[in-house]
Amino acid sequence: MSAILSDDEEGNISISSQSLEHFKATSGNHMARINKRWSSSSSDKRPKLARPTDAVHENITANFISPGQLYSTESGRLFHAGKILIVLVGLPATSKTLLSVAITRYTKWLGVRTRSFHVSEYRRQKSNADSIEFPNDYFSAKPTTERGRKVRKETINQVLTDMIAFFDKDEGQLAIYDALNILEEERSHLDKLFLGLNIKVLFIESVITDPQLIKHNVEMASKSADYQGWTKSEAKSDFMNRLMVNKKLYEEMKPEENLSYLKYINFGEKLIVNNNHYGYLINKIVFFLMNLRDKKGCVYFARCGTSDQDNYIDDEVLNVEGIHYSKVLTDLVLKTINSRRISQCSTPVDVGSWQNSPSSGPTRSASPLIPTSATLRRSESTGNTSMRQPASGDGGDEDSFVVWTAPRKRTYDTAMFFIEKGVNVRQCSQLQQLHPGVVADVSEDEIKHNFPEEYKECLKDPYHYRYPRAESYHDLAVRMEPLLLEMERMRGDILIIGHESTLRVLYGYLMACSCSEIPSLKFTRNELIEISFSPYENKVRRIPIPINQKAS
Amino acid sequence: MPVYTVSNVQNLRICVVMVGLPARGKSFISQKIVRYLSWLSIKSKSFNVGNYRRQTGPPQPNAEFFDAKNKEAYKIRQQAVTKAVEDMMNWFVAEQGVVAILDATNSTRERRDWILRLCRENGIEPMFLESWCDDQELVLRNITDVKQTSPDYVGVDPEVAKRDFLERIAKYEEVYEPLDDNIDRDLTFVRLINVAQQVIINKIETYLESRVVFYVMNLHIKPRCIWLSRHGESVYNIEKKIGGDSSLSPRGLQYAKKLPDLVRQSAGDADLTVWTSTLIRTQETAQFLPYKQLQWKALDELDAGVCDGMTYEEIEEKYPEDFKARDEDKYEYRYRGGESYRDVVIRLEPIIMELERQENILIITHQAVLRCIYAYFMNVPQEESPWMSIPLHTLIRLEPRAYGTKVTRIKADIPAVSTYKEKGTSRVGEALTEATKSRHVLTNPSND
């Protein structure tokens, strides 16, 4: 029996007459729940210290329980959807790896046992471990040499074997197969093979027709691990060669193939869902993909400034230190974003005049951020009825910058200098901190003393444990899910000023932390956290907040 | 400024423009979207062009009226859509609307271009939602529905109505231009093909739009029922205390024992799934049910914060201002350190989405939570839903249908205290007066 609570355990709650007596004796008190929804052995054995790396590719242990898991069924699989294989389809440089990693991150967070299988990783490992030279035609869907065919077949078979083992032995529910799969014959073979094993197959085909996007993706690919030590132009022409060879062979998916597929065109500009029989889980993935965007900016996390009192029940204003902190934070965030924009920009847009202009003079531009080419495009489309109008402040543009704060007064006020500078600041009710229940404003020593039993229970599973009348981290994560999707949709920079509990949940999603790690993640007032995005994994940087410095 | 709970985007206004032939479920989808968004406090309204046309045109026009070559009739229809769009634009401004739905066939590109331009000039983003269907069986089922509900066919012989309606559809087909992947590639649009066998989603650019699409994709039209019950009478109920996590009173336990019979009476041998909250009283109520059970934290009772475990009298005495404030705006009032009805609705949203997808679910939960769920299915406005009386020891059956939900209630005949509190008093108990009668949706038999 896995540690994930099965329907049986959760369902047939039979309360013995003895425990009913107990209820009567103590009725009128707040009672901690006696039926544990999450088994206390749920904590996995990984070290609890926060890793600086993204764990989206880590294997999940047999009794893994994910941050956003709502409930599980007897088999440990969610949404009663059975086992599903998602097969990525598409030419090189169509963001297949990014898609498979993003879906893995999201579904894992939802509690689905997901693993992505990247054929390119298999090849890299193989060539490192066995120092096998991969023939050049290996990269074609139809290699021309005997040796190319053999190596290609071996590699793919290895992936298939591992995927089947994942479903069979590791109780996997969702495998994501990241390879070209551009031939109709390959797809039909996969569909038959896995249907035979009672595993449903959904194809996600990424099609890119926008030349700008292709150019960007080729650029990215020529900087990948495959081309370490190559000159830029050699790398690019080699990659273009891989692309052209396969383009000739490519058979785009069509309804006549009679497969369930999702066409994902120009990174979400258009989606086509065909033959969708799989219900909720797939709809949920489509919903996610509607919001997934190629991010240009970063997500920043910061705490709010301090107030004189620090009680849960009060709604305090910032004190002098708190106001100073807000100023320093504003300067630091703007400086960080601008210096990144300068380093990324190939043709700097009038940087000089921006730096020289006084920050509060009448000549100040509306935005404290350096304009990018996207800014120019937007000013062209405003008022032009033939184009979709930009929704102000919704973060859809790659040069947008939005600040989210929790609804509490001092948190919102921490953003006051951003408002002054014309930055969009949004108060999000979902960022309301974890409800502490009876332990609100109670020190740890007092908890130990006044609630010894509860304290002991909490230590066993701090993620799922609720103090009487409190929210658990799990409750918080479920409540915050809409924010995760909004965060995915925003292409520019986001600064989130919030309580430590909510930052833990958001960070936990972006870095694929486990339940056992999230409650002990640390966010202090002397560090700004920056999370940057790349297709294979996300990266964290901790930037010191120079709180002793004079603010501008 | 309106309060957004799903997407706080400032100034975002969307017009969902329905597209499709008659009897493609456009009105059904429109009403569902309005219900879902209103429930989430996103101001939304559907503008049905047919209703406008009936105001100025003939009350029961025949198929000839819908011929595009019929110049006179065409003018009336044109006036109707102009009036609808005008009202819609005024609504956006006057009522700070967020999502409007233009429920009409909008079957020609010319018409759609006209709406598009008008929307953009007014700073509103149009999202086209086309229901396209060539499944004849599905169309015929819809026609049966329309015949029963449309004012166009009141008192008309069903066979005659059906023939006329098919003819009307044929008139529309002559001029119908479906959305085109290529020509319309710059528009934000969704095409539902044969309900949701194929779905094409183009240029969705905001979270709110994606939310609407996700919701529409989860809708199904299979017949099903949902059963709702409060937990049995609890120790706190008897002590007139609110909140807490007490267990059942002896009478509450009696209800729990009788519940399996009540459910079987109403559901027969159907296999249900039981959803409870994480609080003891709902689990004790569900303990004798022979079905699969799941606990949701989202189904827990509204958190009364500092007032938890107090009686209404105690609250009135200790927090007189809070007590008054809550009576004045019960939906928005948030207990100190606790929740408001609005907060409850936000956390119930995944439950509603899951309920739309599932068949046969029995939910055992609490007074405030049931009010919110009930309000969604019955379209009860926010000012009223927190005041609805939902008595203990009563099983409620909801049967969602295309144009509304049918309610049946089954009393267990086990006495219980009333936990209903009238406005302006701290006493509990029903005092049915003429003025408050409409609130007692479930105790008033005429609403069955």
pLDDT in tens, A15-39: 333 443 443 433 333 333 333 334 4
Instruction: Give me the residues of A, 207-226, that contact B with CB < 8 A.
Output: none
A contacts of B204 (beta carbons < 8 Å): 268, 290
User: In this structure, are A262 and A348 located in the same domain?
Assistant: no
Q: How confident is the model at residue A277 (pLDDT cuts 50, 70, 90)?
A: low
**Is the CB of residue B325 less than 8 Å away from at least one CB of chain A?**
no
pTM score over 0.90: no
Cα A295 from chain centre:
11
Q: Helix crossing, B26-39 with B341-357: angle to 10°?
A: 150
Q: Rounded to whole angstroms, how far apart are CA atoms A497 and A506?
A: 11
Structure confidence at residue B444 (pLDDT)? 37
Among residues A291, A315, A334, the one where a domain terminates is A291
> Cβ separation of A28 and B346 shorter than 8 Å?
no
Structure confidence at residue B228 (pLDDT)? 96
Query: Does the annotation flag B236 for ligand binding?
Result: yes
- What's the gap in Å between the CA of A147 and the closest CA on chain B? 42
Q: How confident is the model at residue A314 (pLDDT cuts 50, 70, 90)?
A: confident
**Is the CB of residue B60 less than 8 Å away from at least one CB of chain A?**
no
Q: How confident is the model at residue A497 (pLDDT cuts 50, 70, 90)?
A: very high
Q: Rounded to whole angstroms, how far apart are CA atoms B9 and A120?
A: 40
Q: Rounded to whole angstroms, how far apart are CA atoms B249 and B251?
A: 5
- What's the gap in Å between the CA of A272 and the closest CA on chain B? 4
> Cβ separation of A70 and B241 shorter than 8 Å?
no
User: In this structure, are A177 and A264 located in the same domain?
Assistant: yes
pLDDT digits (tens, 9 = 90+) for A348-388: 454 444 444 444 333 334 577 877 666 666 666 666 666 66
Q: Rounded to whole angstroms, how far apart are CA atoms B249 and B415?
A: 11
**Is the CB of residue B189 less than 8 Å away from at least one CB of chain A?**
no
Instruction: Count CA atoms closer than 13 A to A326's CA, side-chain side.
Output: 27
* Closest C-alpha among A398, A401, A392, A406 to residue A483: A406
Among residues A273, A291, A309, the one where a domain terminates is A291
User: In this structure, are A170 and A282 located in the same domain?
Assistant: yes
Closest chain A residue to the Cα of B303, Cα to Cα: A469
Instruction: Give me the residues of B, 344-373, that contact A with CB < 8 A.
Output: 346-347, 350, 354, 357
Fold of the B14-218 domain: Rossmann fold (3.40.50)
Structure confidence at residue B448 (pLDDT)? 34
- What's the gap in Å between the CA of B184 and the closest CA on chain A? 12
User: In this structure, are A97 and A234 located in the same domain?
Assistant: yes
Q: Rounded to whole angstroms, how far apart are CA atoms A464 and A472?
A: 5
- pLDDT-wise least confident of A31-35, A427-431, A472-476, B142-146: A31-35
Fold of the B226-447 domain: Rossmann fold (3.40.50)
Q: What residue numbers bound the domain in which A128 lies?
A: 85-291
pLDDT digits (tens, 9 = 90+) for A299-312: 999 999 998 887 77
Residue A388 has its nearest CB partner, among B121, B205, B347, at B205
A442 inside domain? no
Instruction: Count CA atoms closer than 13 A to B420's CA, side-chain side.
Output: 21
A163 inside domain? yes
Q: Rounded to whole angstroms, how far apart are CA atoms A375 and A398?
A: 9
Instruction: Count CA atoms closer than 13 A to A446's CA, side-chain side.
Output: 6
Task: Tell me which DSSP letter residue A236 carries.
Answer: H
The residues of A assigned a catalytic role are 178
- What's the gap in Å between the CA of B387 and the closest CA on chain A? 24
Q: Rounded to whole angstroms, how far apart are CA atoms B255 and A533?
A: 55
Cα B405 from chain centre:
9
Query: Does the annotation flag B142 for ligand binding?
Result: no
Structure confidence at residue A281 (pLDDT)? 76
A32 inside domain? no
A contacts of B199 (beta carbons < 8 Å): 271-273, 276, 286
User: In this structure, are A235 and A322 located in the same domain?
Assistant: no
B contacts of A70 (beta carbons < 8 Å): 296, 350
User: In this structure, are A118 and A194 located in the same domain?
Assistant: yes
Task: Tell me which DSSP letter residue B402 carries.
Answer: T
Q: Is the dihedral of CA A466, A470, A471, A473 positive or negative?
A: negative
Task: Tell me which DSSP letter residue A50 carries.
Answer: P
B440 is catalytic: no
Higher pLDDT: B147 or A230? It is A230
- Domain borders along chain B are 14-218, 226-447
B339 is catalytic: no
Q: For residue A86, what are the contacts with CB-CB under 8 A and spacing of at least 6?
A: A100, A103, A174, A175, A176, A177, A201, A202, A203, A204, A285
> Cβ separation of A28 and B241 shorter than 8 Å?
yes
Task: Tell me which DSSP letter residue A411 carries.
Answer: H
Which residue has 């990266």 as its token pair? A539
User: In this structure, are A181 and A311 located in the same domain?
Assistant: no
Q: What is the CA radius of gyration of chain B?
A: 24
Instruction: Give me the residues of A, 419-438, that contact B with CB < 8 A.
Output: 424, 426-430, 435
Cβ–Cβ under 8 Å, residues A132 and A121:
no
A contacts of B286 (beta carbons < 8 Å): 13
Largest CA distance in chain B: 74
Per the structure block, which two tokens stand in for A228?
Answer: 């370490």
B contacts of A489 (beta carbons < 8 Å): 206-207, 210
Q: Put the strands of the sheet holding A424-427 in their side by side order.
A: A424-427, A401-405, A493-497, A299-302, A527-533, A538-544
Rounded to 5, what percent of chain A is helix, strand, coil? 40, 10, 45
User: In this structure, are A269 and A315 located in the same domain?
Assistant: no
The phi and psi torsions of B182 (rounded to 5 degrees) equal -90, -55
> Cβ separation of B206 and A394 shorter than 8 Å?
yes
User: In this structure, are A101 and A237 located in the same domain?
Assistant: yes
Structure confidence at residue B431 (pLDDT)? 56
Amino acid at B325: A
Residue A423 sits in a domain whose CATH number is 3.40.50.1240
Per the structure block, which two tokens stand in for A201?
Answer: 């197959």
User: Which long-range contacts does A521-530 make (Cβ < 8 Å, 24+ apart)?
Assistant: A521/A50, A522/A50, A523/A301, A523/A303, A524/A303, A525/A303, A525/A305, A525/A306, A525/A325, A528/A300, A528/A301, A528/A302, A528/A329, A528/A332, A528/A333, A528/A336, A529/A300, A529/A301, A529/A302, A529/A503, A530/A298, A530/A299, A530/A300, A530/A336
The phi and psi torsions of A165 (rounded to 5 degrees) equal -65, -35
Structure confidence at residue A304 (pLDDT)? 93
What domain count does chain A have?
A: 2
A65 inside domain? no
Cα B262 from chain centre:
26
B contacts of A286 (beta carbons < 8 Å): 199, 201, 214, 217
User: In this structure, are A237 and A314 located in the same domain?
Assistant: no
Q: Which of B95, B317, B328, B383 is catalytic?
A: B317
Cβ–Cβ under 8 Å, residues B303 and A469:
yes
User: In this structure, are A348 and A214 located in the same domain?
Assistant: no
A246 inside domain? yes
Per the structure block, which two tokens stand in for B97?
Answer: 């609307």
Residue A269 has its nearest CB partner, among B203, B214, B295, at B203
- pLDDT-wise least confident of A242-251, A389-398, B333-342, B392-401: A389-398
A contacts of B241 (beta carbons < 8 Å): 28
Q: Where are the alpha helices (DSSP H) in B176-311?
A: 207-218, 235-238, 250-267, 280-286
Query: Does the annotation flag B379 for ligand binding?
Result: no
Cβ–Cβ under 8 Å, residues A476 and A3:
no
Nearest 5 degrees, angle CA B253-CA B259-CA B261?
Answer: 135
Q: How many CB atoms lie within 10 A of CB B180?
A: 12
Q: How confident is the model at residue A295 (pLDDT cuts 50, 70, 90)?
A: confident
Structure confidence at residue B78 (pLDDT)? 92
* Closest C-alpha among A522, A544, A516, A536 to residue A44: A516
A139 inside domain? yes
Structure confidence at residue B6 (pLDDT)? 42
Residue A28 has its nearest CB partner, among B197, B246, B298, at B246
User: In this structure, are A251 and A323 located in the same domain?
Assistant: no
* Closest C-alpha among A533, A548, A400, A514 to residue A111: A514
Below-70 pLDDT ranges, chain B? 1-11, 221-222, 337, 402-403, 430-448
The mean pLDDT of A513-533, rounded to a whole number, is 92
Amino acid at B365: T
- What's the gap in Å between the CA of B374 and the closest CA on chain A? 21
Instruction: Give me the residues of A, 53-112, that contact B with CB < 8 A.
Output: 70-71
With 60 as the cut, is the pLDDT of residue A72 above it? no
Closest chain A residue to the Cα of B351, Cα to Cα: A70
> Cβ separation of B293 and A273 shorter than 8 Å?
no
> Cβ separation of A479 and B346 shorter than 8 Å?
yes
The phi and psi torsions of B89 (rounded to 5 degrees) equal -65, -40
Residue A168 sits in a domain whose CATH number is 3.40.50.300
Q: How many CB atoms lie within 10 A of CB B8?
A: 19
Q: For residue B22, what are the contacts with CB-CB under 8 A and spacing of at least 6?
A: B105, B146, B165, B168, B169, B172
A contacts of B306 (beta carbons < 8 Å): 313
**Is the CB of residue B182 less than 8 Å away from at least one CB of chain A?**
no
**Is the CB of residue A274 less than 8 Å away from at least one CB of chain B?**
yes
